[in-house]
Structure 1
Amino acid sequence: MNAPESEEPPLLRRAVCPGSFDPVTNGHLDIIARASRLYDVVHVAVMINKSKQGLFTVDERIDLLREVTAEYGNVEVESFHGLLVDFCKDRGIPAIVKGLRAVSDFDYELQMAQMNNGLSGVETLFVPTNPTYSFLSSSLVKEVAAWGGDVSHLVPPAVLDALTERLARG
C-alpha cells in the first residue's frame, strides 16, 4: 500500500525560552540545551525592556546567543517586547520552558505561568536547574566580573570575551 502523495508534513513541536540574557550564562545554556533535546524548534526570545539599560544591547545579546547555541541546530534567537503570550501566539508556540533555581523562583514563575495560561492557553514547563548553576544569575556574573572576579566557569568563552571587553571600556 502506497502512502498518499500529498501527505501533510508532521507538526513541529515548538517551545520558547524567554529572558533578558544580559549576559547569557552557562545556566541559561543548560536550560536551552535541554529544551532543544525535547522540542523540534526552540525559540530563544530576548526581552526588550526600554526602561532598563543593559550591559549589552539587544542586538549584541542576540548575536552572542546565536553564536553559543549554533551547535544545537534547532534554536532560533530573536527579540520581543510586550507580552510573551503574544510572541507565542504569533509563532504558533504552545509551550514556555523556564528554569527554576530555587523555591523563590517557583513562587514568581507559577504566578506567571498561570497568568500566561489564562490569557492564551500557553503551557509553561519548569525545568530544575542543574545544581552546578543553582546560584547563577546574569546580575551576579556582571557584578563579579565588574570587580575583577573570575567568571570564566560561569559563561561561554565568547560571552567571557565580550564581557571582558565591555568592562575594560568602562
Structure 2
Amino acid sequence: MRQSYRVAVYLAVAAVSTLVATENQAAPPVDPLASLAGRWVGMATMTSISGPASNFKCVVTYIPRRGAPGMRQTLRCEDGATNFKLHAATDLTVEGEKLTGAWQDKINDIGGTVDGTVTPTGFDVQLSGQFFAAHMAVAGQGCDQSVRVLPQNSDVFIELAANLKKC
C-alpha cells in the first residue's frame, strides 16, 4: 500500500510540475498575416496617367519571418509584350496591429519605409520613400487575394490592382 501511495504522489507532483512548466513557457506570438503565406498568382491592371490600362501577370509570395510575427512579401509583375517589369520586396514586422518595415523596388533601385496596420483580412500600409510614395492595401481570404497600390504624385500610373489566387 505504501508503494502505491508513493507512486500516486509522484504522479501528482509530476503532473503539477508539467502544468506549471507549460504555463511559464511563452507561447509563440500569433501572426495575424499567417493566412497570406505562400505563392499567389494572377493578373494585374495598371491604370496609367496617359494611354490605355496595361494588363500583366503577377506573382506575389509571402514568406513568414522566423521567431516573430511578420512577412517578406515579394511582388513580381511582368508583361513581355510591353517589356514592363516590377520586382519589389516588402519586409513587414507585426507588433499587435501595427505594421512597420521597409520596401525596395529592385528594377528602379529605390526604396523606403512601411508604416500601417493589420486588417481583418490582410494589411493596409503607407509606402514612403524619397522618389516614390503610395498607399498599399492587401486583402486575402481563402484562395483569393487582392493587392491595390495607389501612388501619390505619380506621373506614371494612377493605380495598380491585382487579383490573385493561391489554390
TM bucket, shorter chain = under 0.3
* More helix by percentage: 1
- Normalised to the residue count of structure 2, the TM-score between the two structures is 0.25
Larger Rg: 2
Q: TM-score, normalised by structure 1?
A: 0.25
More strand by share: 2
Higher relative contact order (CA 8 A, sep 6+): 1
